[in-house]
Amino acid sequence: MAVEKLVMMNVVGKNEYVDSVIKDIILFENVQIVDAYSEIDNFRFTINVTERNIQEILGFSELESGMKAANSEEFQDRLSLVEEMFGNEFKVDKNYLKKDIELDSVVSSVYRIYAAVHQKYLILKLYYNDLKQIDTSLKAYRYLESADIDMDKINNLENFNYTIGSLSKDSVDRLKRNYGNITAIVVHVGSDTDNEVYLVISPKDLETETNRLLKSLNFSRVEGIKREYPGKPADIIKWLEEKRRYFQSKVDILEKEIEGIKNTVRDESNYAYNVFYLYGKIADVKKEMAFSKDNFYFSGWVPTKKRGQIASILSKYKDIIVIFTDNHDPNIKTPTKLRNNWLFKPFEYLIKMYGIPSYEELDPTPFLSITYMFLFGFMFGDLGQGAIIFIAGVLLMKLKGMEFGKIISRLGISSMFFGLVYGSFFGFETVIPALWLKPFTNINTILSDAVVIGVVFMFIAYAFGIINQFRAKNYYEGVLSKNGITGLTLYVCLLLVVLPLITGDRWVSLQILLGIIALAVVLLFMKEPIIRKLKNKKETVGEKHKSSTGHYIEGFFEIYEIFMGMISNTISFIRVGAFALNHVGLFLAFESMAHLVNSPVASTFIYILGNIFILVLEGLIVGIQVLRLQYYELFSKYFKGGGTEFKPAKL
């Protein structure tokens, strides 16, 4: 339940086994690859990279003979034919790849598969092509089907040409409106989706004019009329259909044969596909690595917990050196890997929606998860409706595979729990007893408790913020800023000033409190000059200083904003109580409507409608309100963000 600790893993090994090292790393699925060149450049590769070696660092290295064969054009052609034949039947699965891979034998297995099938497959493709041509011809001749004329005759006219083609509706219109000036006979013979198909007969002498005219009309010729087909169109169609049947039967036989071969080599091909898929990935990883004549250099982030595992996996290689470095260079951003248990995990989604926490920060997920569930339940406590939310969440997750469903189902459970606390079941307040109280009869308690809960959450948020500042080594900010210790002190004192107005006893005298408040205000006001002063002792940085008047005006408004913020953030939590009341109130409205109609059917209908209304509308509003409280009231106290997500290399 934290931001997982990561270490930098630097690996130096022999080039002869580089591919299998990368394979192990990819299948390990827990290493985020870092550009090894930059690691070497920055001297973080502490071992074995002496000056002499660095000078040898070369680009890519492909020493394995197997890989050379696999990269040849001839082989790639064969592989792609096999892949084409299987279409998208192949599946990537890392379980196929766990064993050692003998690249040479995979390559030869691809050759074998290719040899067994390629002739048949190429013939099949030729047949497909023939079928396609027959189909185009069929389509073309069908436009002429009703013409009772020998094609030979019109194919060999002395003075006339003919062509078939399609025109859009627009063009047809233009053609019609200018018939008088057209140099051809144009006959409508059919239609084709959006277009009309015409037979155009024109004198050979005017061929150029006619062609240009047709082009200007966007006339698209229909292919497939062949001069060598004699006879009447109807006969040609019959003959073509016969031919088509014959070809189709050939195709069927071939397809069956190929399917048979495919069945015998399916596993083998799939394995080969997986292997070369893996090698594609390996080539990608290599681009991030450095190579010298004999050695490769690899860098990547690994979760600290897994370092033992990966070290033992890699230990089987001879002369390999694996070094883990713990000290994080401030110039390199360490990625953030959140680790949470099953209960909190889904809420990471809400965090990522806001931003990725930086590596140094506390993982806000557990706090966010607990408070989110608590506040949602508090505002929307209902045993029955909660159950429906739970079921809806589970369904979303199972049917649509939405991660978000998991959050909803957890909110449902929280709502059910508070339903028991308030004794509320589908809005009815009398069905089950309340474990704590009925909100509507204890309005003041609910509202004031909501604020108390808010104050507690705020305290935790302050604590988180201070810890985060210290972890990021921003000590001055941690002490002096409005979200630091000074801010927290100010907030506590303000609470102690206001609290007695409600409870009646004053624990700390007003003078002392006002004194502390004054001091805190001065500190906040002077924060920047103080920090500058303290820092200047150690380092003199030529920062641009603001003019002093500017600083005081800005400072004044900042203090004002801090006070307003503290008050409004606290009061903001009243909404938590208000929504708890609202939930009951809304149902009361439907209940009185149900009483008014005086008909059992109608009132049942109103009850159901009311429940749906409350579930959808109020459920949504409450969900958003809680998110707002999180993002605005709480995150602003502690969340820094600016991290990058941990993305391990995978298949």
Partner 1 sequence: MPGNVKFSGINTKVSVLRSRLLSDEDYKALMELQGVKEVYNYLNDKTVYHDVLFMLIGQKIHRGDVEIALHKYNVLALEKIFPMLEDPYKTFIKRYMLKYEIEDLKLIIEKVTGKTNAVNISGNLISSPVVTKIDFQDLLNQDTLKKVFDKIKDTKYHRLLEPYMENVQDEKFNFYIEMVLDRYYYSQLLKASKKLSEKDSKDAIDLIRQNIDLFNLEWVYRATKYYDMSKEEILNFVLDNGLKLNYDKLKDLIYSTELSKFKDYFANTEYKFLFSHDYDIDLYMQRRIERFMYYKTLNLYKKSILDFGKILAYILFVEFEIKDLMSIIESKRYKLPSKEISKYLIRTIEVVD
Residue 199 binds partner 1 (CB under 8 A):
no
148 versus 194: smaller Cβ distance to partner 1: 194
**Nearest distance from C-beta of residue 118 to partner 1, angstroms:** 24
Residue 194 binds partner 1 (CB under 8 A):
yes
CB contact at 8 A, 471 and 616: no
Judge residue 442's burial from the number of C-beta atoms within 10 Å of its C-beta, 0-12 exposed, 13-18 middle, 19 or more buried.
middle
Helix, strand or coil, per DSSP, at residue 57: coil
Nearest to 417 by CA among 390, 393, 399: 390
174 versus 628: smaller Cβ distance to partner 1: 174
**Nearest distance from C-beta of residue 227 to partner 1, angstroms:** 18
Residue 181 binds partner 1 (CB under 8 A):
yes
**Nearest distance from C-beta of residue 177 to partner 1, angstroms:** 6
Helix, strand or coil, per DSSP, at residue 58: strand
**Of the residues 35, 83, 130, 209, which one makes contact with partner 1 according to CB under 8 A:** 209
Judge residue 579's burial from the number of C-beta atoms within 10 Å of its C-beta, 0-12 exposed, 13-18 middle, 19 or more buried.
buried
Residue 195 binds partner 1 (CB under 8 A):
yes
Distance CA 210, CA 218 (A): 12
Which one of 170-178, 265-273, 440-448, 471-479 is the stretch in contact with partner 1 (CB under 8 A)?
170-178
Task: Please give the structure tokens belonging to residue 314.
Answer: 């890699």
Residue 136 binds partner 1 (CB under 8 A):
no
215 versus 538: smaller Cβ distance to partner 1: 215
Residue 256 binds partner 1 (CB under 8 A):
no
CB contact at 8 A, 196 and 218: no
Which amino acid is present at 527?
K
CB contact at 8 A, 166 and 219: yes
209 versus 528: smaller Cβ distance to partner 1: 209
**Of the residues 70, 85, 140, 217, which one makes contact with partner 1 according to CB under 8 A:** 217
Residue 172 binds partner 1 (CB under 8 A):
no
171 versus 269: smaller Cβ distance to partner 1: 171
CB atoms within 10 A of CB 161: 17
Residue 592 binds partner 1 (CB under 8 A):
no
* Total residue count of the chain as it appears in this document: 651
- 598 torsion bin: left (phi>0), alpha (psi -120 to 50), beta (else): left
DSSP 533-584: HHHHHH----PPPPPHHHHHHHHHHHHHHHHHHHHHHHHHTHHHHHHHHHHH
Which one of 35-43, 163-171, 270-278, 321-329 is the stretch in contact with partner 1 (CB under 8 A)?
163-171
Residue 287 binds partner 1 (CB under 8 A):
no
Nearest to 411 by CA among 350, 362, 455, 465: 350
Q: Which residues share a beta bridge with 347?
A: none
**Of the residues 182, 283, 332, 413, which one makes contact with partner 1 according to CB under 8 A:** 182
Which one of 10-18, 58-66, 177-185, 389-397 is the stretch in contact with partner 1 (CB under 8 A)?
177-185
Residue 215 binds partner 1 (CB under 8 A):
yes
**Of the residues 68, 132, 221, 293, which one makes contact with partner 1 according to CB under 8 A:** 221
Distance CA 254, CA 245 (A): 14
Distance CA 385, CA 614 (A): 9
Terminal Cα-to-Cα distance of the chain (whole angstroms):
27
Residue 174 binds partner 1 (CB under 8 A):
yes
Residue 198 binds partner 1 (CB under 8 A):
no
50 versus 181: smaller Cβ distance to partner 1: 181
133 versus 168: smaller Cβ distance to partner 1: 168
Which one of 2-10, 176-184, 337-345, 492-500 is the stretch in contact with partner 1 (CB under 8 A)?
176-184
Residue 161 binds partner 1 (CB under 8 A):
no
Question: Which helix (H) or strand (E) covers residue 303, if one does?
Answer: strand 295-303
The residue count for binding partner 1 (CB under 8 A) is 22
DSSP state of 16: G
Residue 216 binds partner 1 (CB under 8 A):
yes
Residue 628 binds partner 1 (CB under 8 A):
no
Task: Please give the structure tokens belonging to residue 573.
Answer: 């939590």
DSSP 190-242: EEETTEEEEEEEEEGGGHHHHHHHHHHTT-EEPP---TT--S-HHHHHHHHHH
Residue 177 binds partner 1 (CB under 8 A):
yes
**Of the residues 178, 248, 249, 309, which one makes contact with partner 1 according to CB under 8 A:** 178
Residue 212 binds partner 1 (CB under 8 A):
yes
181 versus 549: smaller Cβ distance to partner 1: 181
**Nearest distance from C-beta of residue 619 to partner 1, angstroms:** 29
**Nearest distance from C-beta of residue 133 to partner 1, angstroms:** 17
- Which residues of this chain interact with partner 1, rule CB under 8 A? 165, 168, 170-171, 174, 177-178, 181-182, 194-195, 209, 212-221
